[in-house]
Every structure is written in C-alpha cells, then in structure tokens.
Amino acid sequence: MQEYQKHNAHKENVLQNHLIEQLVAGEGYLLRSCEPDYDKPLAMDKGLVLRFLQETQPEEWEKLVAHYSDSATDTLFGQLGKALKDRGLLDVLRQGIKIVPGIKFSLCYFKPASALEPKRVAEYQANILSVIKEVEYSQRHGGRLDVVLFLNGLPVVTIEAKNLLTGSTFRHAERQYRQDRGPAGEPLLTFKRGALVHFAMDEDNASMTTRLANGKTRFLPFNRGRDGGAGNPDVDGEFRVAYLYRAGAWGSAIFSRDVLLDIIGRFMHLEVVGKQEVMIFPRFQQLDAVRRIMAHAGEHGAGRNYLIQHSAGSGKSNTIGWLAHQAINLHDAADQAVFNTAIIVTDRVVLDRQLQGTVAQFEQTAGVVKKIDGTSRQLKDAIAKGARIIVTTIQKFSTEHLKEISGQSKRSFAVIIDEAHSSQSGRSAQAMTDALTREATSSDDIEDLIAEYQKSRGPQSNISFFAFTATPRNVTLERFGVVGPDGLPHPFHLYSMRQAIEEGFILDVLQNYMTYKAYYKLEKAIEDDPELSGRSGQRKVARYAHLHPTAIGQKVEIVVEHFRRHVMHELNGQAKAMIVTSSRDHALRYYFGVRDYTASQKYTDLKTLVAFSGELDYEGETYTEADLNGFSETELPGRFDGFKPDGTPYPETYQVLIVAEKYQTGFDQPKLCAMYIDRKLAGLQAVQTLSRLNRTRAGKERVYILDFQNTIEDIQAAFRPYYEITSLEAMSDPNQVYELEGRLHKFGYLDRPEIERFAETFYGGHLSGGDRARLEGLVRAAVGRFEADDDEGRQEEFRQLLRSYMRFYSFIAQVIKLEDTALEKLYSYASWLARLLPHRQLPPEIEITEDMLKLQAFKVVEKEKGSASLSPGDREALAGITEFGAKPYTEDERKELSEIVKAFNDRHGTEFTEADMIRFEQVNREIMNDDLTEMLRNNPPDVVYAAFRDAFFQGAIRMFQRDNEMRNIVLTDAEARDKATRHFFGRALRAVRDNPIAGA
C-alpha cells in the first residue's frame, strides 16, 4: 500500500483505482468496462441484468422467451426502462417488475431475517455487485463519472473521487456534480430513475446526495467523526475513507454486499416534504447506530440498555423508525427472534405526529405499526394482541386498563424512548415495566409479594431499553448507559453537538452572543412601611423592579431595534425571533411593550404573538393568549410559521413570539434567527431553550442572542457537559438510600409497626373501599405526629427528605436489583404520606405600588459581545447524586465559614464549631420556598438580599429558640448576624442558580 501510494501519489485517479481494487479483491465486485458493458441510454449493464435474471429465475425467463420469442430481451428491457421511469429504481429493486401474461422478475434479493430458509440465503448470495470506472454517462457530451457501482446490472452509486496531493478535495467533487453533472436528459443522474446516491470523496472525507439539482444540490457529510468533531480518524496503512470500501474496526464496508443491500432494502425511502419528494439515504451516524445496536442485541439478546446520545438535527425520528422496524425482525445466532414487539414511547402528552408519521412510513407490511392516539384501552389491546410496533405516550401506561395486563413476561420487548431523561425513573415508566412483566401469582406470603414488586423495578430480562437524547442527565447515564472499563456509564453510541455543528447539521447558537446588564435604584416611599418588612413584602421588591414599565420599555427598544437592523431581513425577510421571559406576567407586559413601541415608531411591518397559559389580570382587564393573538392556542405554531397545513399562506405575517415556559423546548421553527433572553437560565434548561435556534434552513448562516439576565460564562457552563460526549464524575452511591431511610426515621413521625401493617394491606391484593380507609388511617397517625410538631423548619426538612427518598429509591431500584423489602414498604407508605401531609402555609400576597416603592433610576448597558462558542475538548463531567438538601461546601465557602465561627467565638467567648454553624443550613431549607427560590434565581443579589435577610433572621430565631446562647447572639449582635446571613445567602444563591442534581 505504501509503495503504491509513493509511486502514484500525484495521480488524480489514485483513490479511484485503490477503491476499485479493494472492492474487487475484498468485497467480491466484478470489474466491468464502460465499453462494451455499459448501455448509456438505459443507464445499466444489460449483460449483468440478463445474467442475474437467467441464473436466479430460469423458469420466469423461459416463460418470457416462450411468450415473446426473439423479442424477449427487447421486451424485458423495454418494460424495465418504463418501470424505472415510472416507479423509480428503489421500488424496482424492492418490488421487481411484471410482464404480461403474468411473468414476475425480482431485480434483487435482500438478506432474509432468518437463515432457516436455505433458498432465501442462496438467492441473497446470488446478487451480483459490479463496478465500472470512467463511465461516459452523458448522451449529450463526453462527460464521465469516476466510478459507478451496480447491483445486478442496475446503477446504485456514483462516485467522484479526488486526490488531496493534487490539490483537489471532495469539495471540488461536489462542485463538479453541481456544475458539470446536470441531470436533465441523463438517465443515470435522473432523480429516482437513476443511481440512488452520489458520493463526493477524497482520501480524508466523504459526502453524499440523493438528488442532483445543479447549483441547488445539497451534499451531506458521510463521515465517521474524529475526536468528537467532524471528519474521519486516521487508519493505519489506509486512507481515512477506507470504511467505505474495506472492512475494519468499524465493521463491514459501506459498499459491501451486507451493508449496501441493507441500506437499499431497509433504510432508504421516499419522503414527501411539502409537494416535493425526498430520497432519504441514512447519514453515517444513523446507519452506524442502528447496525451496531442490532448487532449487539442479536449477540446478547433482550434485557440490555442502550443510551444513544445524538445531537439535535441528527434525524432522530428516522433513526428510531429504522431501529423499531429492524428490531422486530432481528434474530440471534440460533435463529430465534430477539424481540416480539417494539414499543416507541414519548413523554409528550400529545403523541409526536412527526415521529408517528416517520415510523409508519417505513411500514412495508400493512398493520405492522399501531399508533396509539386514542385511549389507553387501545394500548392494552395492542399489547395483548401482540402488535409488532406500538407508538404511544408513556402516560398511557399509568391507567387502570394497563393494570389488567399479565402474562407478557414470556415475550420480549424493545422499548425505544424518545427523549429520555429523569422522568423515565418515574411512576409512568414503572407502570410500563409492570405491564410488560406482570404475572399472576398464587403466593399468599406478603414478603414474597413485596419482593416481586421490588424485583419488577429492576432490570428485566425480557425488556431492552433504547434511550435517545441529545442531553443526558446524570440519572439518564446511570439508568441507560453502558459501564466502561473505568466503571462509569457511557453512551452506547454518540453523535455529538460539536460534530453536528462542524458538519453543518445544526447551527452554533453561541456564535453571536451579546449580554446586557440592568442597573436600577429603588427607594421606599415610606421607609418604615410595615408591608415591605419581612419576607412577605421583600420577596416582591425585585419582581416589582423587573416588571416596571421603565425596565420593560428600555429592553423592548433594544430588542425591536436590534431585530429590525440585524435580523429582520435574513431569509429574504422571513426571519423570526423569540423573546424568552421569566413569567406569564412578564410575557404579557413585554407584549404590550412591543405593541406600544412599534406603534409609536410606526413600525407597521413588525407583528408580535404571545404564548402563556391560563388567564392574566392587568390594569383591570383579564387576558388570555387566544384573546391577544386573535386565534386559538393550537393555531399558534402554524400562524407563526406563516403557512396553513395545506401549504397556503396566512394573510398576516408574524415576526416575534414572546414566551413564558411554553415553546422553550420541543418547538422546531427553522426560521428562528434570534432570541432575546430576559430570564435566568442554567444547566439543561439553558441548552434546551437556546437550542430552539439551531435548526438549519437554506440561507440561514448565523443566529443572534441578546441576553439581559445571564453572562457568557453562565451559558458556556450550561453547554459544556453536552458539547461533546456527556460523562459522569462518579456513580451515585446506592447506599444513600439507607442514609435517607435513617434520616426519615429520626424525626419521630414514622412508626415501623404502622408501616408493616400498611404493607400487609397495600400488597395484599385488590384494594377495597375498606382497605383504603384502613391505609389512610395508618398514614393519618403519622400526619398527626407531624402536625403536633411546632418546628416548621423540621417539618419542611422532613417534606423534602420524603420526596428525595421516593425519587432516589425509584431511580436506584431501576439500576440495581434490590433485595430489601423494607425499602419497598417505606416507598409505598411514603407515596401516601406525601399526599396527605399538610402544605406549608404561605403568607398572603401583597401588591407593591408606586406609593410604597419608587424606581428612582434604571438603565440597561451592553456588557459582553462576541462568540460564546465552545472549543474542542472544552467539556465538563456531570456529578452523580451525592447528597440531598444543601449543596456541598466549596473551598472558599469552608474558609469563609471558618472565619465566621472564629469571629463568633472571639466576640462572645463561646466554643461553637463549624458543625454548629452548619445548623444554619436548616434555616435555609426552611425559608427556601418556591417564591424565594424563584426570586433568588431571577434577580440580582443586591436586590434580593434584603428579602432573604429578613426571612433568614426569622428562621434563625425559630430554629434556635431552645438554644439560648445562639439565639441571644443572633438577636443582639448585628455584625455577627450579618456575616452569617451573607454566608448562607451565598449558599442559597448558588444552590438555586447551579444546575440542580436530578433526582435529589
């Protein structure tokens, strides 16, 4: 190989010749010649077509000759040419052709799912693969193609191959296809009728297209990926594109018999987009993922988990569709079916229509796909009757109908999860597992019954989970990841955000990032106003400033003027933008702000929509989303896009959509070119929100983000874990479930004998009305002990730990087969207790007015501007679940705490330790309700500190009411109190603004 390259390095055809040699020597291709083998008008190798038909279907050939005599060959090629023109090559290869009086020819035999039929295996092996170089294809000029690959004499792949050492790259090959390979009047290049796919390649890279359209031809990368990004890795002694023509560590070659016929038979399909047909050829990562997963499942059988981390824009719906259809036809080495049924589940309440349609369009046998878009009874019937592919929402498994299903444990299921995340360890996911594993039992022993319940939570030998997500959380990795040599879970297959960006499948949303900082000064109208003292008033102060018309007005002006100057004219005037706000009230005021500003400036060419749930009162009027927009909520996506379902345009065009929670995730609008952020974002929420911008569209080359709440550093920190491969620092310690169990019992609210009696009834069979009353009575005893405790801080800590136990047990029981029924008993008891515990009483709401508080000054200034894009290798591992409650201390926080303890002791002659001071964490847990948490998350620290300070002071007094020494210091020493308060304010602020650990 090295000598060959040395002597031929500067020849244009070095890759062309090497590829052909490898296909002939290694993959069994026949080498044919353009003259005399290739028929230009028919665009086929007629000799090999005849050879294939005569050798594999001699009886049909004899019928043809008997009926048509000397014109048999002409009749065959006449009908074949007509079928190619009318139906296309893909359909002809799959369905064959028919000739009067009932002669049927197959033009290709695909690999059978099972090897139990030797005749089918022999037919598959009889397929003839061939290659011709320098094919003079044109009927109008002498244009040539470097390489054409044929299947049974019919052209399936064309290739233009370049040599990097001559200064020619795959981009030159793409340009050649666009400029010199016009498809008009050329059968080989005509869409559907001619070759199925066209490859442009050099020694390092490859790209492909299924439709040549002159200058509008769009090529897609077809590379393996290199070090987490685009391109291909080095291959010892070979070109980087060797995976196309030679078997290796990557598996079989793409152009090998097994892979090429698999693509033609089970992957390629025609998709109708609008009024245009699109031929889908799998991208490399899609093909590689499905084939690797199926190979692994075929070898290891059911009962395994697979996490597929594929970036947005990777064609997930197609990958899921291919996987489902191939799973139900998968056989193991003993020719036994691996899966009886594939179930595709999504947690979206309304079943994803695109996913549903994509899976259905791969259906080659009617009735294979059951779309559960009705009731849960429909799902029950589909499972009970053994449907092959089921598409449903996860919520439908949580109904009474599904509890009636049993006897499925002898069947095997491939459960394909669309957008896996922490909810897969929730109640609906458990209900799904129960339905697919439940068996009738004759045991009367309660401990046996509970052990079976617990066992059903863990891994099941008859269920394999295939979990898809672009952004796996820590629990997703632990639940579905494959444990590597380092003992940590990893995705089974990766197509990273970085690779998708570098390959152009999605846009880098961080490329143009601008941040703004708001400065404002507030003044109390009455300094000692009692309504503004304490938590009940102070938590409203920051919100008041945030929603003030002056604040909204200045931001609206920045947003509108930026959109008009930089965004509006993108995409030939079709560009759109989204304003992301922190609350429904915020969204409403932005809507009025934009409306009033555009009217004052006479900007009649900019129209706005708003999205929020429910009703809102503003200045004496009640508003809904539908009232303001003038049409129903369900119409909004189409109205914003500008086109009706039938493709006709709406009379009005809208450019800006203002949102509060709605449309921040799961909303695909490729025309979005800008986003204006006025809410705090962190972690996965930041990634999912900003990713609304990453969809590609012809002419869309850049996007813009203006952010009034976050820094570039904040956003980069959020994206870092998901930019390349998502990893985990360490596995969660399952023994933490016992730590939680012990902490719950220390409160004195729980009684072990009551939990045992609860379990005897709860697991004893179908619950009657009397049983439910008995269970509630047992739980009410604990509620009474809880209510008798006048320590609100202890009560709130118990509430939080109870929820933490339920989440963590539910999660860890799915990862590990637990064998301790006491944990299962506590879980079922806790689920009842959590519902019956009284909710925390919140102080009444107050409305801050100009009479109580005045905004003295407000200004918004540009802070940062430029690229926030991450660099290769810029990654950060996720943390496992390591603690419940407060965040662990950082080194700086521990140092600060040590100084506070020393100051307390020096000033008052006490002997407090750091452990004593950490008791203030309980104060944080008590006061951090939803309102205060949201205030700290969405407002500047200097604005919200006063509200926290007052709440913390009251909480500290309550906590230390039985500790006179600490209480006296808190009451009398303002300086010491302020140091402690500021320290725990910082802790609280970090806790709510960091990415929260899922499940804890």
CA distance 516 to 500: 29
Which position has the token pair 């458990």?
A: 430
Which position has the token pair 């107050």?
A: 846
Phi (first) and psi of residue 806, to 5 degrees: -60, -45
Burial readout 844-865 (b: 16 or more C-beta within 10 A, e: otherwise)? eeeebeeebbebeebebeeeee
CATH 3.40.50.300-classified regions of the chain: 282-495, 513-722
Cis status, amide bond into 844, omega within 30 of 0 = no
Please name the amino acid found at residue 376: S
Check: CB of residue 129 under 8 Å from CB of residue 253: no
CA distance 392 to 417: 10
798's CB contacts (< 8 A; 6+ apart) are 744, 747, 749, 786
Q: What is the pLDDT of residue 646?
A: 79
What is the CATH class of 282-495?
Answer: alpha beta
Check: CB of residue 859 under 8 Å from CB of residue 521: no
CA distance 98 to 81: 12
Please name the amino acid found at residue 8: N
How many beta carbons lie within 10 A of that of residue 487, not counting itself?
8
Check: CB of residue 241 under 8 Å from CB of residue 203: yes
What does the chain come to in residues? 1000
Extract the tokens encoding 138. 């044109």
Please name the amino acid found at residue 445: D
Extract the tokens encoding 85. 């023109």
DSSP for 430-496, please give it. Answer: HHHHHHHH--------HHHHHHHHHHHHS--TTEEEEEEESS--HHHHHHHPEE-TTSSEE-SEEE-
Phi (first) and psi of residue 578, to 5 degrees: -130, 135
Phi (first) and psi of residue 172, to 5 degrees: -65, -35
R_g of the chain computed on alpha carbons: 33
Which position has the token pair 């802790």?
A: 987
Q: What is the pLDDT of residue 595?
A: 95
Among candidate residues 147, 149, 178, the one with its CA nearest the CA of residue 161: 147
Extract the tokens encoding 790. 């006048």
- What pLDDT, in 10s, does the model give residues 766-783? 778 888 889 999 999 999
Query: Pairing mode, if any, of strands 341-346 and 389-393?
Result: parallel
Query: Pairing mode, if any, of strands 144-151 and 154-161?
Result: antiparallel
Check: CB of residue 191 under 8 Å from CB of residue 158: no
CA distances from 297 to 167, 293, 309, 579 (A): 44, 6, 18, 45
262's CB contacts (< 8 A; 6+ apart) are 110, 111, 291
**Percent helix / strand / coil, the chain, rounded to 5:** 45, 15, 35
CA distance 222 to 718: 29
943's CB contacts (< 8 A; 6+ apart) are 520, 522, 541, 542, 545
- Which residues in the chain come in under a pLDDT of 70? 1-12, 274, 347-358, 360-366, 421-426, 441-443, 519-546, 666, 840-858, 882-900, 904, 908, 912-922, 925-926, 928-944, 958-967, 970, 990-1000
Q: What is the pLDDT of residue 932?
A: 66
Helices H / strands E in the chain, number of each? 39, 31
Q: What is the pLDDT of residue 532?
A: 45
CA distance 732 to 736: 8
DSSP state letter for 255: T
How many beta carbons lie within 10 A of that of residue 614, not counting itself?
8
CATH 1.10.580.10 fits domain 513-722: no
Among candidate residues 569, 556, 628, the one with its CA nearest the CA of residue 860: 556
Check: CB of residue 932 under 8 Å from CB of residue 843: no
**Cα 670 versus chain centre, distance:** 17
Q: What is the pLDDT of residue 897?
A: 63
747's CB contacts (< 8 A; 6+ apart) are 794, 797, 798
- Dmax (CA) for the chain in angstroms is 117
DSSP state letter for 679: S
CA distance 336 to 321: 22
Check: CB of residue 54 under 8 Å from CB of residue 105: no
